[in-house]
Chains A and B, each alone.
Chain A
Amino acid sequence: MAEDEMSATPNSESIREQGAERPTPNAELRTAGSIPDFKGRTSKILWRTVDLVVAGIFIYAGAIKALDPVQFASDIDNYKILPWPISVALAFYLPWLEIFCGLALVFRRLYRGALSILTALVVIFLVATIAAKVRGLDITCGCFGHASQNWSFPTHLALDLALLAALSALCYCSTPKPPENA
């Protein structure tokens, strides 16, 4: 499958080029009839909005951490999971990974790759946060630098779960479906 095709989201031109309609929530593929067309358009706008909100959150989170990698290294180290040199390496790397994945969602390039990476990151954050709580560590997640310093554990959890839900939905919608007639 061509790179362009993989990079695209379900509401892209490539779907039409395939000649097969895919029953995705944000498909703009309805041909005749004003109501289905309206539904498809509304659905497209909705999913694009989710795309942009998720992208914005990750770009913001990445930028804040990229500006202060020393603090982020300390935040990672507070989880007491990784040795310090690994925490430092991740403090330099993860913010940029978040930024590039966020940009990929905005510009719809390398789209599914970005969704996969971000989903994996959120799952890791979620597990690490819960593990820290279970071990009795009273720490800040460091997800949004200083902005998240006073967030409670339920707030972290709620945000992570909301992001995970949004990413899962986007992943599901971006997965190519077999043609209905097949």
Chain B
Amino acid sequence: MRSSLVRQILILAVLALVPAVGEAIYFRHKISWRSAILPSEMVTVDQARAWGENVVWVDARPDEEFARDHVPAALSLNEDRWNELLPQFLAAWSPGKKIVVYCSSLGCNASREVARRLRREAQLPDVFVLEGGWEGWLKTR
């Protein structure tokens, strides 16, 4: 009886594997297995600086961290106050400008989430995540 249960579990596990592999192949260009952010969506501090005035910096960290210090001219846009801050950000953004989002460090998720929401919900193009985040910026300052 127990072996039959195990067999059923194995059959279901293998069945699910088939479409999962197909989907992984289908989405291979839309998701990176190495990093949560696609390489094409990342930007280094040097690259972002080279864009000069043509970039809007977005600070995805919590308000208190933004208040403490931030990239010059950066706008605060975090998920805690998304609905409140998004209109302010959109007012400051103009078409053609690149958007660079950062959070505290390489391991944080906030910049990735904010960048994703800017692309999906606000339908904005040219949204990038800063490699290394605020810590990366501090190192090169």
Contacts and interface: CB of A to CB of B under 8 A. Distances in A.
A96 B34 contact: no
B120 to A, nearest CB: 9
Interface stretch (B51-59, B85-93, B109-117, B128-136): B109-117
Interface string B91-118: 0000000000000000001001100100
Interface in B1-19: 1, 4-5, 7-9, 11-13, 15-17, 19
Nearest to A87: B36
Contacts, number: 83
A38 interface: no
Interface residues of A, number: 34
B16 A6 contact: no
A104 B12 contact: yes
Nearest to A85: B33
A74 interface: yes
A97 B4 contact: no
A96 B8 contact: no
A87 B8 CA distance: 25
A148 to B, nearest CB: 15
Contact of A69 (B31, B34, B35, B113): B31
Main secondary structure of the interface of A (DSSP, over half): helix
A66 B23 contact: yes
A85 B116 contact: no
28 contacts: A1-B4, A6-B4, A6-B5, A6-B8, A66-B23, A69-B31, A74-B112, A74-B116, A77-B109, A84-B35, A84-B36, A92-B21, A92-B27, A96-B20, A97-B12, A97-B16, A99-B16, A100-B15, A100-B16, A110-B12, A113-B5, A113-B8, A113-B12, A114-B12, A116-B8, A116-B9, A117-B13, A176-B1
Given A84-B34, A93-B17, A113-B9, 16 more contacts: A6-B5, A7-B8, A74-B36, A74-B109, A78-B109, A92-B24, A95-B20, A96-B19, A96-B23, A100-B16, A104-B12, A110-B12, A112-B5, A113-B7, A113-B11, A116-B9
